[in-house]
Structure 1
Amino acid sequence: MAYDRAADFADVFQHFAVGEAGRPEHSCYPYAPVFPVRLDGGKAVIKRTTGPVTAAAAIARWVEGLAGEDVGVVTPLPLPVDNPAPIGDQVWVAYPWVDGRPYTGSADDVAAAGDLLGRIHAARPAGPGMPEFGWPDHDAASVEEDVAGLRRVLGEHAPDLRDEVPARLEPWLESFMAETLPPVRDGGLPRAAVSMDYKANNLVYVDGAPVLVDPDNAEYAPRVLDLALAALLFHNEMATAPPRLFTADEWSAFSSAYRRHVRLTEAELALWPVAVRYMLLEWGVWTLIDAAEWNDWDDPHKRGFLRDLATVDPGRFPLR
C-alpha cells in the first residue's frame, strides 16, 4: 500500500510555514494525505479536507462550538495564515496533534465512544455553511455496477460468500430508490451536524475519554444515519479493534451511552431498521468493493471485519 509522499505537497508545507526538518517523509494514513509535523514548536497534523473552503470553514466553526461545550473534538490551530486554507485546487487544515492511545475494544472504550457521539448529536445546531447531506439517485446501471462489484470482490476474496451475499443484497439494491430511500428522506427525521465518519480510527483516547480527531466529513444530516453508520463501520480500518462489527453486548453499551444524551423520536425508532439498511447498501456495499483497491481483503484482520459486514443482519443493532 502506497502512502502519499510529503515531497509532493511542498506548497502545503510552505503555506503553513513548516520547515524541512519539521516534515515527515510520508503520510501517516494510507487512504489520504495526513502529515504529522512540527508547527510553532509543537506537534501538529496537516491533512487534506473535503469540499470547498466555505464548507471547511463551517466545519471549523462547528467543532469550535463543540469544544466550547467541552465536547472532545479537535479544532483547527489558530495560525497567522488561513486555516483551513485553499492550496491549489484542494483545501487543507492544520490541527493540534492529540497525544493519547488508540481504541482497544474494551467495554469502557465502547461506552465512552457512544457517549461522545451522543454529546455531538445533542450539541447546539451548526451555523450557516455546513455541507448538506446529499441524497443518492441510482439507476439500473449503477445498481448493476454494485452487484457486479460485489460478485467480483467476493469471488476473488471470499468465494464461499459469492452467491449468498449478492442473493441477499441484490433485491435490496434494486428496490433502494423505491423502498429504502423515500422513508428515510421524507420521514421528517431530526437533523444535526454529524461526523458521517464516526469510527474508532478517528478517535484518540486521552485519560480514558475519546477525542474526535477527524471531523472533516461532517454534514448536516439525519442524525440516525450517522448512528447507523457507526453501528456498521465503527471497527473498520482499526488494527486495535476486534476484526468484526459490534457484538450485541457492545452495541447495547454503545447505544445506551449515546441515548443518555439523545432522546430519539418515535419516527427515528420506527425507521431505525430502514436507516441501518440504508447505510448498509450505501456505505457498507461501497466499503466491501473499495476494500479490494487497497488490498484490505488480503489482510486477515481487515478480512474478518469485511466478512462480518458482508453477512450482517441489520437486526443485529436494535434500539427498542
Structure 2
Amino acid sequence: MVSWSDPPSPRLRRLVDELDEHGVDLDVENPLDRLVAEEIDYALHPLIHERRVPTYGAVIAPTVDRSRWRKTTNLEVTSRSLRDLQRSDARRFADGASSWLVLSGDGAQKLAVFDRPASSERDVVVMVDAFGAAIVQRHSSGTVRYASEHGVMRWDGMSWHREPLVTRWISAMRTWGGNAQHSLATLLAFAVHDLGARGIGALLIMQNTLTSSPAFEQRMAEPPPLDIAVPEDLTPLRHVLAQIDGAAVFDNSGILRQIGVRLNPSAAAVADVDGHRGMRHTSGRRYSFDDPESIVIVVSEDGPVTMMRNGVILGRTDAQA
C-alpha cells in the first residue's frame, strides 16, 4: 500500500491536473485529497482478473454517524472490519452497489454492506448527502464517478463531464413556495442523475397549478399519478420516458399529470423566442415563454440538462450549450 510519505506517481499527478481543468481542486500533498485521487485512479484502472473488469465503490471520510445512514437512505447497513487487509486487497470486496469500502483519513477501513443494491448515479448523490462523504464508483457500465458536496464528475470512457449541484439552480425559484421548490429540486435531480446519466432524452414541465394554463395537445391517456418524491415511482417513470416522444407534465407537488403531450407555441413565442439547439429544446423554451410560471427541464440524449423559465435559460450542465 502506498504511504503518505511516498511521492505521488506521474499518473496520479496527471489525473489531478486533468480534474483541475474541470474545476475539481485536489491537492496530492493533502492526505485526504490524495486518498480521493488514489481511489479515482484505481476506479479508472482496476485490476483485471481473467478478462473481467470489476466494479468498485468507496465511501471516503464520512462525517455522519453510521447509525443515521438508514434514516436518509432507507438502506439496512452492516459493517465488516477490514483492518488487517491492505487497501489493494480490501478493494476486492467492494462492488460499488451492495458493498462499499469505507475509508477514513486516518487510514481506517471497513466494508459497508447494504441490504439491496444502490448503484445508480441518483443513489450515489443521495449517499453523498446522507453520509457526508465523497464517493468514488466504477459502475457496471464502465462509467467512473466521483461525487462530493460540490457535484458529480462522470468519466464515460473518453472524457470527464461535470454535473453541478442542482441546488444552485433552485435559487432562481424563490417565488415558489417551499414544497414546490423541494419538488422542483427532486425533479431536477432525477433529470440530471437518472435520465441524463442514462442517456434518456426527455422534456419535463413543472407547472405552477395556480396560474398555469396548458398550451399543449394531449395525445395519450392520463397516466398514473406517479410521485417524483417516491423512490418506487421513479423506475416506471424512467421506463416510460425512455419509450415516448412529447413532454411529461407535473404539478408543483411533483405528481405526473400528463405524458406524451405535444406543445403548441403561440405566434408570439415563435416570433420572439429563437430556436435553441434541437426541436426538443426549442419547443420547451417556447412553452416556457407562453407559461412563464412553469419550469421546463430538457434532457438531451447525450446527457446535458437545461432548465428554462419564461423563455430564458436558468441553468445547464454543459457550459458549451
Which TM bucket (shorter chain)? under 0.3
Between Structure 1 and Structure 2, whose CA radius of gyration is higher?
A: 2
Q: TM-score under structure 2 normalisation?
A: 0.27
Identify, as 1 or 2, the structure richer in strand. 2
